[in-house]
Structure 1
C-alpha cells in the first residue's frame, strides 16, 4: 500500500484492517525515520510520555524507570508519534481519539530483587504487606463489613443475581475455586467456576441476571478478556478482579476491585494469588452482611481477616526450618 502511494500511516492502517488475529505492534519507515506507528488489537500496548521522548511496551514495568505518565491503547487503536507529538486514531474508521494520561502507581524499587536471590522468594516474603495493602481502607471493623468502592454502584444488581460465574486461567482459576465456596456460603447465590478458555467457546446460561467475575493478575489474559466480551454480549454484569491499574480487563468490565499486590515478576504466582483470595474474602463478607450475616459474625470475620497478615508473617519467620524440611523431602518418591 505504501508503494501504491499511500502515506506511511495510511498504509499501516489499511493493512491492519485486513489482519485477522491479535497483535501489538510498532512500525517504522526508512523514508520517515522520525515517525513511529503503533497499534493494538487484543494485545496490550502502553505508551510512556517523557520529556520530548516516548516509550512503548506491553506493560508499564519497563517504562517506570523513565516516566510515570502513561497512556494505554485500547482495542483497535493506532498511535502515531513524530516530532510534533502524538495522535491516536481508530484503526477502523480513522476517528481521532483524545486520551488523558494516567500515572503508574508502583516504583522501580518494587520491581527489583533487593536482598533476595530471585523474584519468587521476594514475592513470597511480600505477602504480609500485600494482604495488608489489599484490605487497606476496605474493612469496617465496627460494622463488621467490607466497603468495596469499585462495585458500590452495582451492589443491588449483584445481590439479586440468579447465578455467578467466576472465569479465569491458571492460578487465578484456583483462586476462583476458593471464591466459589466463600461466595456460595455467604451470598446464597449459585457460583460456577470455569476456565476462561472453556467459557468463551461454549454456550453457558448467561443473561441480565448473571454476574460474571473475571480474575486476572495482569488484566490482559486473552481468554479471560474474550470471556468478558461474551458475557457482556449476553447482557451479564461483569466484575473484574485484577492487579494492574488501567489494564484491559479493568477497562472493559462494568465494575471491579483492584488487588493492589504490586508488580509480580515471578512466573509462578505467589502474592497475586494471595491478594485475589483476600479480595474474594472481602467480597463474600460484603455480600454476607447484606444477605443476613449477623453483626457479631461480621465482626468476627473482619477480626480474622485483619489477623491473616500476622499469621502469614509467623510462617515466614520459620523459613529456615521450612528450607531444611524441603531439602529432606525434595527427592522423596
Structure 2
C-alpha cells in the first residue's frame, strides 16, 4: 500500500504535493518523492525514509519550481527501501508514481531489456514506466491503453508525459484513486485526506478509466477512448476523519482493508493455480527435507502460527512446534541443522523474535521470516523472507497483519504438502483456489457488523468472560480473547473446550459470557456438548459457527452464522466477527481503540 498524489493549478506544486503526501504517510513511510514540470522538463526529487527526509533534501537541492506534478509515499513491496527504489520512476519522456503490484513485471522487464532498455531499480513500477516510454509516440491515451492491456495485477498510476507540461494522467485497477475537483486547480490522490484541505469534491475512478487532468478541465475516458460522464462526489468528513477513510478508528478501517490485503499478498504467489514462491527465493525441494518445523512469534503473530500448525500437520504431515519467542530462546530448544525455523512478525523488529533467528542460525538451522516491513532487522537476518503486503497497520491491535500472516502460512502449507507428496497437484490446486476465494468470504463476514455490535452491547458491562473451541477453533479463540482484552480491558481467557471439566468450568457463574467457536464440522458435536455444560451453569453463550451447523435454541443465547467456506479455511472467516466484537465492545466502553493503554505497536525490547 502506497500513497499517490498529483496537482495541476496555480499554486506552488511542490508545496501542495508535500502537504498532500503528509496526509497519506500512514499509507507508507519507506520513502517519498515528487516529480514537477520545471521549465518544460520533468524534475524529480526523492529520498529514502519518511517524508521529512525529502523535505530536508529539498532544503539543500531547492524545491522544484512549477505548477504541475505528481508525488508518492512508499510502502515497499518489490525492492528494499532506498533512494533508487523510491518513486517517481521513469525518464525525461515519461515519469510515473504507482500504488499496487504488477504481477507480470518480470516478463515485461525481460522484453524491455531485449529492446535495449536498462533498469536502475528493483521495483515492478519501473517496468511500467519503461513500457509507457516504449509505446509512447505522441498520444498519451493510446499509450496508456496499450500498457494497461499488457500489465497484470493492481495499480493506481499517476503519469506525466514530457510533451504535456500542463497535464497529469491517471488510471487505476484494484488500487484506489480519486480525481479531486477544485477551482482553477485539480488533483489526483489515493485517498480523500490528501486533498480535503483544498477541496471536498471528487470523482471516483472505476477500473481502467483514464483521467486527463488539467487545472481547468477533467476528462475521463474508457479504454475505447469514449468520454465518460462521472458523478461528482462530496466528502462530508473533517480532516481527522478523512485520514481514517471516514471510519471512526484506524482499527475499523484496517478490518475493512483485510480482503484487499489478503488478495494483494496471495496473488503474486500463485501461478497457474499453484503456490509459487520463486520470487521470494524459497526452494521447496529443500523445504521438503526438513525434519521438523518450528514456528516462533509473539502475541497475535504466535496465534497465526498456531493456526499454521494445525494446517501444516494436517495436510503436509510434518511435525510443527509453535512457541512464544521469549520462552523459546531461554529453554535451550532442541533445534538442529535438520530443522526449519519460521518466525512471524508484523514489524520485523520484535526483539525476542530477532533473538530467536540469531539463536537458530548459531546451530545451523534454516530460517524463514514472514514479515510486513521491507528491510526490517528480521528480514535482513533470516535466510529466506516472505513479505506480507498488508501495508502500514496503524492501530496497535493487529487485524489485517494477522490475516495476511495466516494467508501466507496456508499457501506455504499447500506447497510443503505438495512437495512432500502428501497431496496431489489437483488437490493443491483445489486448496489454492479455495484460498483465493477467501477475500470475498471476509467481505461477507464484515457485513455481520450489526450482529457483532449487538453482542458487544451484551459484553460491555461484564468483568470477565471465556472463549472456548476445539482444534482450529481453539487456536482462533486465543486470538479472539487477546483482541478483546487488549482494547476493551475486559478480563478474558481462552480454553480448549475439552479442558473445561478439568478446572475451568468452576469459573462459570450466572450470566457470565462464554464465546464459543464451532466451525469444524468433525468437532461440532463435542463442542456443543461443552457449550451445554456451561449453559447449564448459567452462562450467557455467544456461538460463532458455520452456516451449515444446525443448533437448537437451547444451545446458545446469541448465534452468529458465518459465510460458508471449507472447514480448513474457516479461521480466516471466523476471525472477522471476533475482531468486530472486540472493536465495538471497546467503543461502547469509551476506550482508546487505536492506542490501548500500556501497549506499543512494535516491541523492540525484551
With structure 2 as the length reference, what TM-score do the two structures score? 0.38
Shift, 1:100, TM fit? 5.8
Change (3 A) 1:150 1:227: farther
Among candidates 291, 305, 314, match of residue 420 of structure 2: 291
Look up the SS of the partner of 1:193 in the other structure: strand
Among candidates 252, 272, 285, match of residue 381 of structure 2: 252
Q: Do the aligned partners of 1:150 and 1:255 also contact (CA within 8 Å) in 2?
A: no
**Residue 436 of structure 2 aligns with which residue?**
306
Distance, in Å, in 2 between the alignment partners of 1:270 and 1:305 is 18
Alignment of 1:133 onto 2:111: no
Q: Do the aligned partners of 1:186 and 1:291 also contact (CA within 8 Å) in 2?
A: no
Look up the SS of the partner of 2:385 in the other structure: strand
**Residue 70 of structure 1 aligns with which residue?**
48
Query: Pairwise mapping of residues 2-17 of structure 1 onto structure 2 (< 5 A)?
Result: none
Query: Pairwise mapping of residues 15-94 of structure 1 onto structure 2 (< 5 A)?
Result: 64=31, 69-70=47-48
* Number of residue equivalences: 252
**Residue 456 of structure 2 aligns with which residue?**
326
Segments of structure 2 that go 5 or more residues without pairing to the other structure are 1-25, 35-45, 51-56, 62-80, 88-97, 100-188, 194-242, 463-511, 513-606
Distance, in Å, in 2 between the alignment partners of 1:228 and 1:116 is 38
Q: Do the aligned partners of 1:150 and 1:256 also contact (CA within 8 Å) in 2?
A: no
> What's the C-alpha RMSD, in Å, of the aligned pairs?
3.1
Distance, in Å, in 2 between the alignment partners of 1:318 and 1:102 is 44
Distance, in Å, in 1 between the alignment partners of 2:437 and 2:388 is 18
**Residue 124 of structure 1 aligns with which residue?**
255
Shift, 1:154, TM fit? 3.0
| 1:168-209 residue CA offsets vs partner (Å, 9 max, x unmatched) | 111000000111111222332211111111122221122221
Bigger Rg over Cα: 2
Among candidates 192, 213, 219, match of residue 321 of structure 2: 192
| 1:244-301 residue CA offsets vs partner (Å, 9 max, x unmatched) | 1111111110012111011001111000000000000000011111122112312221
**Residue 215 of structure 1 aligns with which residue?**
344
Query: Pairwise mapping of residues 231-246 of structure 1 onto structure 2 (< 5 A)?
Result: 231-246=360-375
| 1:99-134 residue CA offsets vs partner (Å, 9 max, x unmatched) | 964646997968931211111000011111111111
Shift, 1:62, TM fit? 5.7
Shift, 1:152, TM fit? 4.1
Distance, in Å, in 2 between the alignment partners of 1:298 and 1:120 is 34
Distance, in Å, in 2 between the alignment partners of 1:66 and 1:302 is 37
Among candidates 153, 157, 161, match of residue 286 of structure 2: 157
Distance, in Å, in 2 between the alignment partners of 1:219 and 1:104 is 20
Look up the SS of the partner of 1:136 in the other structure: helix
Look up the SS of the partner of 1:184 in the other structure: helix
| 1:148-174 residue CA offsets vs partner (Å, 9 max, x unmatched) | 125545322221001111111110000
Look up the SS of the partner of 2:283 in the other structure: helix
With structure 1 as the length reference, what TM-score do the two structures score? 0.68
**Residue 407 of structure 2 aligns with which residue?**
278
**Residue 95 of structure 1 aligns with which residue?**
none
Higher relative contact order (CA 8 A, sep 6+): 1
Q: Do the aligned partners of 2:27 and 2:392 also contact (CA within 8 Å) in 1?
A: no
